[in-house]
C-alpha cells in the first residue's frame, strides 16, 4: 500500500517544485476545502477538470485552489521561471505519478514481486485519478477501482475483525507438561473469547492455538500451530528442519509459552452480481487536461453503471468524493462486484478473474 494521495502538498522548496511527502490531511485539508489549506494534489486535479465540484460530496472552493496556485507561480517568477498554469499543474501530476510508481516498485521488488505480474488496486480520494498513469509507468496491465473506493479504508475499518489473544508462560520441557496442555488451552480460549466479547462483539470464536517451542539450550523459539491429532513435537521438528535445514538429534524440546487467539466473525462477502455486457451510458462531457492538452472527454456516472457496462478511454468516471481518469488507450468495465476494472485496449478482452494483488 502506498500512501501518496490527494493531501500531498505541492510546494516550492530549495528552488524546486515538490509534491509531498508532507500531507495537508483532513484539517486544514487541501486549499479547495476552504479552510486555509495549502496547494495539494486534490487542488491540482480540480484545476485541471479531473474533479467535479458539484459531485464531490462536500463544497469545493475553486477560487481558493487558484489563489494557492498563483502563490506558487509567483514564487517561481522570483526565480526567473514563468511556466503557464497548465504546464505547472501538468508537471505536478507527473511528479506525483512518478513518486507513486517508484514507491510501489520499491515495495514490490523488496518483497520479491514484479508489479507487472499483478493488478494495481486504486483507492482513496485521489488513487483512481492517477491509476492509469502509474500503471503505465509500472507496466501493469490491469487497474481495479473498488466500489466507493474513496472510502475503502473507512469501510475496511468498520468491517474489520476484532482480535484478542491470551498467553501463558510455561518454561518447561514439552513432555513434562503434555498432560496439562488441554486444560491450559481451554483456559486461554475462555479468556481470549471473553476479551473479544467485551468489545461488544457477539459470536467470538477461537481462531488459532499456538505453541512457542525451542530445543533445550536455545533462546529463540518457533511459533507452531497446535492442530488436533498432530504431535506438537513432530510439528516443531518439521518446522525447524524447513527453516534451518537440519534437526538436532536427542535434544529435549522446551515449551516457552502458549497463546490462543480469538476473533469476531468476518463479514460474509457480498454475492457476485450477474454480468450482462453493454455499452455504458454517457452522462455528459467535460473539458479536461490530459496528455499535455485540454480535451473534451465523455463522462460516466459511477453510481448508475451496472455490472457488464463497458466504455473506452479517454474518459472520466465521476462518483461521490472522487473520480477515475481513464487514459487514452485504456478501456473500462464493471465486474460482478461493482468494481471498475481498467485495462489497456490492446490487451485481450478479460472475462475471467483479475489478480488484485
The count of C-alpha atoms lying within 13 angstroms of the C-alpha of 251, restricted to the half-sphere facing its C-beta, is 17
Residue partners of 303: CB distance under 8 A and separation at least 6: 319, 320
- Rg of the chain in Å (alpha carbons): 27
Q: What is the model's pLDDT at position 4? A: 63
- pLDDT tens profile 193-234: 999 888 887 778 889 999 999 999 899 999 999 998 899 999
Length of the chain, in residues: 357
Q: What is the pLDDT of residue 75?
A: 93
In the prediction, which pLDDT does 294 show? 94
CATH architecture of residue range(s) 165-263: 2-Layer Sandwich (3.30)
Residue 129, SS3 per DSSP:
helix
Q: What is the predicted pLDDT for the residue at 54? A: 82
Strand order in the sheet with 205-215: 163-173, 253-263, 205-215, 222-225
pLDDT of residue 1: 45
> Beta strands of 106-162 (E only): which ranges?
120-121, 143-145
Average pLDDT along the chain: 89
Contacts of 140 (CB under 8 A, 6+ apart): 115, 116, 118, 119, 120, 134
What residues does each domain of the chain span?
8-105, 118-155+273-344, 165-263
Residue 44 CA to residue 92 CA, distance in Å, equals 8
> In this predicted structure, what is the pLDDT of residue 352?
39
Separation between Cα atoms, residue 258 and residue 60, nearest integer Å:
54
Tens digit of each residue's pLDDT (9 = 90 or more) over 291-336: 899 999 999 999 999 999 999 989 999 988 889 999 999 999 999 9
Q: Tell me the C-alpha distance between 214 and 237, whole Å.
A: 9
- Residue 349 is predicted with a pLDDT of 55
Give the H or E element holding residue 297.
strand 293-301
Cis check: omega of the bond before 166, within 30 degrees of 0: no
Residues in the chain where the model's pLDDT stays below 70? 1-4, 347-357
Amino acid at each position: 500500500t502506498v500512501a501518496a494521495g490527494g493531501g500531498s502538498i505541492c510546494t516550492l522548496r530549495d528552488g524546486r517544485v515538490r509534491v509531498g511527502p508532507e500531507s495537508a490531511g483532513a484539517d486544514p485539508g487541501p486549499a479547495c476545502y476552504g479552510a486555509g489549506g495549502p496547494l495539494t494534489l486534490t487542488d491540482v486535479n480540480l484545476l485541471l477538470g479531473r474533479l467535479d465540484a458539484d459531485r464531490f460530496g462536500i463544497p469545493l472552493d475553486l477560487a481558493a485552489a487558484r489563489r494557492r496556485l498563483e502563490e506558487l507561480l509567483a514564487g517561481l517568477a522570483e526565480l526567473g521561471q514563468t511556466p503557464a498554469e497548465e504546464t505547472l499543474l501538468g508537471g505536478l501530476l507527473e511528479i506525483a505519478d512518478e513518486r507513486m510508481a517508484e514507491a510501489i516498485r520499491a515495495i514490490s521488488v523488496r518483497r520479491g514481486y514484479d508489479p507487472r505480474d499483478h493488478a494495481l488496486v486504486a483507492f482513496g480520494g485521489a488513487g483512481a485519478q492517477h491509476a492509469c498513469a502509474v500503471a503505465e509507468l509500472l507496466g501493469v496491465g490491469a487497474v481495479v477501482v473498488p466500489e466507493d473506493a474513496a472510502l475503502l479504508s473507512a469501510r475496511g475499518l468498520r468491517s474489520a475483525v476484532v482480535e484478542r489473544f491470551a498467553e501463558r508462560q510455561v518454561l518447561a520441557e514439552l513432555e513434562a507438561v503434555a498432560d496439562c496442555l488441554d486444560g491450559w488451552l481451554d483456559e486461554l480460549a475462555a479468556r481470549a473469547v471473553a476479551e473479544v466479547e467485551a468489545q461488544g462483539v457477539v459470536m467470538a470464536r477461537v481462531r488459532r492455538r499456538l505453541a512457542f517451542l525451542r530445543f533445550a539450550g536455545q533462546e529463540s523459539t518457533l511459533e507452531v500451530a497446535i492442530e488436533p491429532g498432530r504431535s506438537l513435537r513432530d510439528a516443531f521438528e518439521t518446522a525447524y528442519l524447513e527453516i534451518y535445514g537440519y534437526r538436532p538429534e536427542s535434544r529435549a524440546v522446551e515449551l516457552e509459552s502458549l497463546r490462543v487467539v480469538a476473533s469476531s466473525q468476518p463479514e460474509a462477502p457480498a454475492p457476485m452480481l450477474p454480468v450482462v455486457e453493454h455499452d455504458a451510458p454517457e452522462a455528459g462531457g467535460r473539458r479536461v487536461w490530459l496528455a499535455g492538452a485540454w480535451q473534451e472527454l465523455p463522462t460516466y456516472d459511477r453510481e448508475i453503471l451496472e455490472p457488464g457496462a463497458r466504455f473506452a478511454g479517454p474518459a472520466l468516471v465521476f462518483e461521490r468524493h472522487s473520480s477515475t481518469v481513464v487514459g487514452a488507450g485504456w478501456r473500462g468495465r464493471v465486474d460482478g462486484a461493482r468494481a471498475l476494472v481498467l485495462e489497456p485496449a490492446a490487451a485481450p478482452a478479460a472475462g475471467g478473474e483479475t489478480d488484485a494483488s
